[in-house]
Amino acid sequence: MSSVGIAAPPSGNAVVNGLLMGQAWSGSEVTIGFKFGDINANGIDDFDEGDWKPFHREVVANVETFTALTFRETDEPANIMFRLDLGGGGESGTPSAGTTSVETAVGINVDVAGSAQAVRLGTFSLTWFHEFGHALGLKHSHDQDGGTFGKLPGIQEPGDQGTTFLNSQLNTVMSYTWSFLAEDNPFTAAFDPGTSVNAQPGSFSAIDIAALQHLYGARARNAGNDTYRFSDDVDVNRGYTTIWDTGGSDTIEYAGTSRAKIDLRAATLENEIGGGGWISTSEPLRGGYAIAHGVTI
Ligand SMILES: [Ca+2]
Ligand SMILES: [Ca+2]
Ligand SMILES: [Ca+2]
Ligand SMILES: [Ca+2]
Ligand SMILES: [Zn+2]
């Protein structure tokens, strides 16, 4: 049975509330589908070309790793219909009371035949996570929706890093600000939070994870002993991944010859540096890991 849009209450945490719009999908199963389109005008559904479907499925599967939600593909008008548009940017509907279907879209260039040509997790994938976040009931970190669901603490304008540097896309994909280290850049002498990095999140980030778990519950994952490896290669890393891991004695490991920082602190979800996580990365800043709130590595 398909889900329907419902009202969703705030959480008890101001940082998490900074992403909530008061709406979500009911139940534990949400359906997804792929809307027909033919941007390159060759008579073939663009979703039947290249690897656009597998790429979208990777974005969807990320949510199944940390929430209790299950997504089911259907030919019927699904709760969330993916669409490819021509051009840059993206747009998305959001669930509201009684909604049964929304469309969520990202613009691509007409001569990009398949996702892997230009878009992979951690490389220009940010917009897909962002729009899918809207489709699941998340708002921008800088939007002020009524009195209950305010902006993410410390943020005034869309491009602000925030007074406590929370507004990095490494902390929330619902930010309009580019990915940057919220904490001090460990590879420079000065205390300099706010350093831009050379990759994007390849997963939902720590504040998104907490907000989506508030709406949909959390799921047990990687409960044994696990090792999370990164290198200087953005494609191997798939950018910056935020770890959701519910048990075991776990390790973050760097493979390479650059200077690196391994940071085992989990996101605090407070209005402070580290509220949205701490990054393990190497000096080229081409990816690594953050740790979601409540996770011990
Ligand atoms: Ca086509
Ligand atoms: Ca520094
Ligand atoms: Ca653990
Ligand atoms: Ca584990
Ligand atoms: Zn948006």
Which pLDDT band, with edges at 50, 70 and 90, does 255 fall under? very high
Asked if the model's pLDDT at residue 190 lies above 90, the reply is yes
233 CA from centroid of ligand 4 (Å): 24
- The DSSP code sequence of 154-168 is T--STT---TTS---
Mean pLDDT of 95-101: 96
pLDDT, position 113 = 81
* Rounded distance from Cα 242 to ligand 2 centre (Å): 22
Ligand nearest to the CA of 227: 4
Counting ligands in written order, the one closest to the CA of 195 is: 2
Residue 7 bridge partners (DSSP): 23
- By three-state DSSP, how is residue 45 classified? coil
How far is ligand 4, taken at its centre, from the CA of residue 225, in Å?
A: 4
Distance of CA 55 to the CA centre of its chain: 14
Q: Is the pLDDT of residue 145 over 80?
A: no
Q: How far is the CA of 49 from the centre of ligand 1 (A)?
A: 7
Q: 128: which 2 tokens?
A: 């897909």
On the question of pLDDT at 57 being above 90, the answer is: yes
Helix (H) or strand (E) segment spanning residue 215: helix 206-216
Residue 250 Cα to ligand 5 midpoint, Å, equals 34
What is the CA(223)–ligand 3 centre distance, in A? 7
| Domains of the chain by start residue, with CATH | 5-135 (3.40.390), 180-291 (no CATH)
Q: How much distance in Å is there from the Cα of 36 to the middle of ligand 1? A: 9
pTM for the whole structure: 0.97
Cα dihedral 68, 71, 76, 77 sign: positive
Q: Bridge partners of 83?
A: 105
CA–CA dist 261, 241 (Å, integer): 15
**Amino acid 147: pLDDT:** 62
Q: Which of 206, 189, 194, 186 shows the shortest CA–CA distance to 281? A: 186
Q: Determine the distance separating the centroid of ligand 1 and the alpha carbon of 44, expressed in angstroms.
A: 4
Q: State how far the Cα of 70 lies from the Cα of 84, in Å rounded to an integer.
A: 23
Beta bridge partners, 253, equal 229
| pLDDT tens string 194-233 | 999 999 999 999 999 999 999 999 999 999 999 999 999 9
Res. 146 pLDDT band, cuts 50 70 90: low
Q: pLDDT value at position 149?
A: 82
If DSSP codes are grouped into helix, strand and coil, which group holds residue 213? helix
Q: What is the pLDDT of residue 144?
A: 87
Contact between residue 157 and residue 142 where contact means Cβ atoms under 8 Å apart: yes
Burial of 291 (0-12, 13-18, 19+ CB in 10 A): buried
Which of 30, 38, 69 has its CA nearest to residue 214? 69
Work out the pLDDT band at 114, boundaries 50, 70, 90: confident
